[in-house]
Structure 1
Amino acid sequence: MSGIRVGLDVGGTKIEALALGEDDTVLARTRIPTGWGDDAVIAAVFAAIEALAVAGGFAVSEVSSIGIGIPGLVDAPAGRVLHAVNLGVEDLDLAAAIRARIPVPVAIENDVKAAAVGAGSLRGDARSMAYLNLGTGVAAGIVIDGALWRGARGTAGEVGHLSVDPAGRVCGCGQRGCIETFCGGGAVMKAWGRGGELPIRDIFDLAEAGDDLAVELREGIAFGAASAIRSLVLSADVETVVIGGGITALGDRLMGDVRARLRSENAASPFLASLRLDERIELLPAGSPAASLGAALVGAALLHGEGPHTGRVVLAGSTAPNEPAPSERAETASEGALHG
């Protein structure tokens, strides 16, 4: 066995790791806790790779490339993580640290951009799409003609910080009424202020029971998500917006609200109606390893000096050793959106 490509999605609480074989079949998936600070993050990355090797029955020496998706500001060409507040990392040459022990090509990419590549591969079609992540924050990755589009300064897809209500709540970026203040898990939890094990689910449940604040926040989530979708289509004219992230654990309840919001906007604007926005959205299937898969593909691209391959990847038969059952997965993802 050779040519194994490894991808890691490094989050604030855990690392999701995946190994791809030469035929694009997933050989193994695993999950381990993430550390805090430079040294702990590096140690966790090595631990995840070693755990993959054990689960997949291969040696670390058989790994041909490594890709890492990580939140925050990333200098992808340099392989540096410049600002990942949830990991306690301010400036880390992560690629060099990994290559010092595993001398193979190592790519570092923003986690949402990596997930966009993975989502395109899972769909088997990445000609014109965006991946919209509704998690603790809100951001998107854009893939055009199979290639990741970063923009002039790497900020393409940062729709979470588009202001759609100048009189709205203050965003962490300093503006008011950003899309993220409406449908970002962190902002919604702060506005909710009631705690709870799964606040987003509580908001949806209590909105159906008539709770005024819950109704306001639930409507705001749909408004924010619809605004992000509209912004992505109007700015990049992507054919499809794939929606993922912790909040999407609500599944059809969320998508029903978002489609209803888009249709109500269509009714007020013949121009928006012509765009058929409600028909151009998809929900990333629960448990899909889009971020770790995308990271593996971004890392593999360094082997050939080209953009990430986005052909379909086989997931059948692959499981994560500690992956939650489908009934648990929604709760885990929703909690992660609000507390991760």
Structure 2
Amino acid sequence: MRVGLDVGGTKIDALALGTDDTIVARTRVSTGWGDAAVVAAVHDAIDALAVEGGFATLDVASVGIGIPGLVDAAGGRVLHAVNLGVSELDLASAVRERLPVAVAVENDVKAAALGAGSLRGDAHSMAYLNLGTGVAAGIVIDGGLWRGARGTAGEIGHLSVDPNGRVCGCGQRGCIETFCGGGAIARAWGRGGVLPVLDIFDLAEAGDPLAVELRAGIAYGAASAVRCLVLSADVETVVIGGGITALGDRLRDDVARRLRLEGEGSAFIGALRLDERIELLPAGSPAAALGAALVGAAHLHTHLHTHEGAFHG
């Protein structure tokens, strides 16, 4: 069994892949706060999968973990996962203390990019754009993640597209994240609410001036991200996921309309047909957990190959 875990601020989405690459079990458990609690929650998720799938934890060959924050994928460490109360944690080693199998750790958005590519059956040239509390992307080329020279490929949220815009948490003005990141939207809205983005869309349709402005900004920010991903990496498809995509077709239609508008003002941009190159990740998709499982399985393959080479001298 190859286990994949998508560790979020409140829950872990977990799944297990069988030998034929089918999902044999999927479950969710609560996420803890702090280093020890996060490690314990990872083990709880693995145990829950074993019960759900009817297999023993001894049958687990690899564990892949997608987690927010800065991730040292080579070392299996996670840094500054502030929503989990983790500042620095050697997560792979901590998990292996109880379950001595191949364990790989990856940034959650990059893991979701791999999973989205696998679900589409086409990981040749695509990007996964995550519109959540923040904005980031994972870029998949020929089935593998493109990390860039220093691992920052896909940090699309911190591209400034309006030098006179709102101040971003990174210190710049008018970053893409200030337009379509959930945290920035909620602060600009300033009216509270359980789902501020949903309120904004609903009230924009009723003519509320601030809601109209912010809704247009969401489309502008997301369209800017799509345009930058295509122009910089020439990906064929941009799959949009994250919490904001709960808006469904209303979000997709807004972004597509904005992309068409930009294409009308530029023959070059219009020729790219950007509005035809976007799609939403289906609600409830296991992309992130699946991608994590694939990362873990790849780590297992590398581990076995390395040991085999050493054995044979």
TM norm. shorter chain > 0.5:
yes
Superposed, which structure 2 residues align to 1:127-142 within 5 Å?
127-142=124-139
1:126-153 Cα offsets, whole Å, 9 max, x none, are 0000000001100000000111111111
Of 200, 219, 223, the match for 2:220: 223
The reply to whether residue 50 of structure 1 matches residue 47 of structure 2 is yes
Q: Which residue of 1 aligns with 2:177?
A: 180
Deviation at 1:100, TM superposition (A): 1.0
Question: Which amino acid in structure 2 is aligned with residue 106 of structure 1?
Answer: V
Question: Which amino acid in structure 1 is aligned with residue 269 of structure 2?
Answer: L
1:261-314 Cα offsets, whole Å, 9 max, x none, are 0000000000000111001111111110110000000000012229xxxxxxxx
1:32-59 Cα offsets, whole Å, 9 max, x none, are 1111110110011110110111011101
Of 285, 289, 302, the match for 2:286: 289
1:200-251 Cα offsets, whole Å, 9 max, x none, are 1110000000000000000000000000000000000000000000000111
Question: Which amino acid in structure 2 is aligned with residue 203 of structure 1?
Answer: I
Give the distance between the partners of 1:82 and 1:215, measured in 2 at CA.
38
Q: Which residue of 2 aligns with 1:152?
A: 149
Q: Which residue of 1 aligns with 2:122?
A: 125
Deviation at 1:199, TM superposition (A): 1.1
Structure 1 gaps of 5+ residues are 307-340
Superposed, which structure 2 residues align to 1:250-269 within 5 Å?
250-269=247-266
CA RMSD of aligned residues (A): 0.8
Superposed, which structure 2 residues align to 1:91-106 within 5 Å?
91-106=88-103
Deviation at 1:164, TM superposition (A): 0.4
Give the distance between the partners of 2:272 and 2:253, measured in 1 at CA.
18
Of 86, 89, 108, the match for 1:89: 86
TM-score (normalizing by structure 2): 0.96
Of 48, 63, 66, the match for 1:66: 63
The reply to whether residue 163 of structure 1 matches residue 156 of structure 2 is no
What secondary structure, in the 3-state scheme, does the structure 1 residue paired with 2:295 have?
Answer: helix
Superposed, which structure 2 residues align to 1:173-212 within 5 Å?
173-212=170-209
Percent pairwise identity: 80
Considering Cα pairs closer than 8 Å and 6+ residues apart, tell me whether 1 or 2 has the greater RCO.
1
Give the distance between the partners of 1:215 and 1:45, measured in 2 at CA.
42
What secondary structure, in the 3-state scheme, does the structure 1 residue paired with 2:61 have?
Answer: strand
TM-score (normalizing by structure 1): 0.88
What secondary structure, in the 3-state scheme, does the structure 2 residue paired with 1:305 have?
Answer: helix
What secondary structure, in the 3-state scheme, does the structure 2 residue paired with 1:29 have?
Answer: strand
Question: Which amino acid in structure 2 is aligned with residue 252 of structure 1?
Answer: D
Give the distance between the partners of 1:67 and 1:83, measured in 2 at CA.
19
Give the distance between the partners of 1:98 and 1:182, measured in 2 at CA.
38
Question: Which amino acid in structure 2 is aligned with residue 216 of structure 1?
Answer: E
Q: Which residue of 1 aligns with 2:5?
A: 8
Give the distance between the partners of 1:200 and 1:27, measured in 2 at CA.
35
Deviation at 1:197, TM superposition (A): 1.8
Give the distance between the partners of 2:148 and 2:105, measured in 1 at CA.
17
